[in-house]
Amino acid sequence: MQPSTVAGRGAVTWAKHIHHRVLIEPLLGSLEERQDCIKATKPAREVPIRLALLAEIDWPLPEELVKAGEMYAKAFVVWYEARRDSCSEYYVANAQTEKSQCLLQAQHYYDLVLKVNIAQIEALHAQHCPNCPWDGKTIFPEKQGNVY
Ligand SMILES: [Zn+2]
């Protein structure tokens, strides 16, 4: 079935395989920052495949996914700035708790919208990411551990 809501990508930069168990998601930060994080924190055997698959995408995406992604990205920025700008430990604790809840809710909503649209995203992924080891759950189908 052809979806009726294919739109652009909105104001968010999107990427594939930022995390090994998420097919696509808004890029929170830069691609270079994520590449550096992978090099610094991931097992050496995973680094080449993670770096090879990580990329910005320019596929058209379902409109509701774009909106959910924008909301998630905005919630992340609010949370990040609250954390950065906080000047007392008391304020930090309260601001982070409240903002974290907003971020978690936005992330949960994004995950739900992605799940609802996963068949369309999987089809786009198959077109645009040939020879990918993604099995519908991970880019490391032989290994199910390592959540991030
Ligand atoms: Zn892929």
Residue-wise pLDDT for 35-54, tens only, equals 999 999 999 999 999 999 99
Taking residues 6-30, what's their average pLDDT?
Answer: 83
Output the CA torsion 20→57→14→53 (10° steps).
Answer: 20
Q: Please give the pLDDT value at position 91.
A: 58
pLDDT level of residue 10 (50, 70, 90 thresholds)? low
Are 17 and 5 in contact by the 8 Å Cβ rule? The answer is no
CA 73 to chain centre: 9
Mean pLDDT in the chain? 84
Ligand 1 centroid to Cα of residue 53, in Å, is 6
Q: How far apart are CA 72 and CA 12, in angstroms?
A: 10
Compute the distance between CA of residue 58 and CA of residue 125 in angstroms, rounded to an integer: 11
pLDDT, position 18 = 96
Is the pTM higher than 0.75? yes
Q: Residue 67 C-alpha to ligand 1 middle, in angstroms?
A: 22
Q: What percent of the chain has pLDDT over 90?
A: 60
**Structure-token pair, residue 79:** 């949370």
Centre of ligand 1 from the C-alpha of residue 19, in Å: 11
Measured between alpha carbons, how far apart are the two ends of the chain, in Å? Answer: 33
Centre of ligand 1 to C-alpha 50, Å, is 10
Question: Quick one: pLDDT at residue 82?
Answer: 75
**Per-residue confidence (pLDDT) for residue 148, from 0 to 100:** 44
Higher-scoring residue by pLDDT: 51, 147: 51
Helix (H) or strand (E) holding 94: helix 89-116
* Cα gap 38→133, rounded to integer Å: 18
Q: For residues 96 and 83, is the Cβ–Cβ distance under 8 A?
A: yes
CB count within 10 Å of CB 127 equals: 9
Mean pLDDT of 65-79: 89
What pLDDT score does 3 carry? 35
71 to 24, 39, 48, 63, 68: CA distances (angstroms): 15, 29, 31, 12, 5
